[in-house]
Amino acid sequence: MKSFAKKTWTIVLFNKATSELMQTDVETPPRKLPSETYTGPMTIERFRKVNEIKSLLTKKGIDLKGQKDCSLLRGVAG
């Protein structure tokens, strides 16, 4: 005797639970994952430090505007 028929009724319950779970993702989508290098919100102290680094690099003639990944300077106007 096989137990296949006895276990197939659970698929109906799993389908219902899965559809309800997917509906919550549609209503409230999951947030975007932060990057591995995310250090939190920009503080005044960090902002001043980044601006100081930018000014020192500019004085030395180093331009970072063309760089693809410049996470240190991301979010700083200037």
- Supply the range of the domain harboring residue 37: 4-59
Measured CA to CA, the distance from residue 17 to residue 26 in angstroms comes to 14
Measured CA to CA, the distance from residue 50 to residue 53 in angstroms comes to 5
Q: Is 13 contained in some domain?
A: yes
Q: Is 71 contained in some domain?
A: no
Q: How many structural domains compose the chain?
A: 1
Measured CA to CA, the distance from residue 73 to residue 39 in angstroms comes to 12
pTM given for the model = 0.36
Q: Is 38 contained in some domain?
A: yes
Q: What is the pLDDT along the chain (78 residues), one digit of tens a residue?
A: 566 666 666 777 788 888 888 888 888 877 777 777 777 788 899 899 989 998 999 899 887 776 665 555 555 444
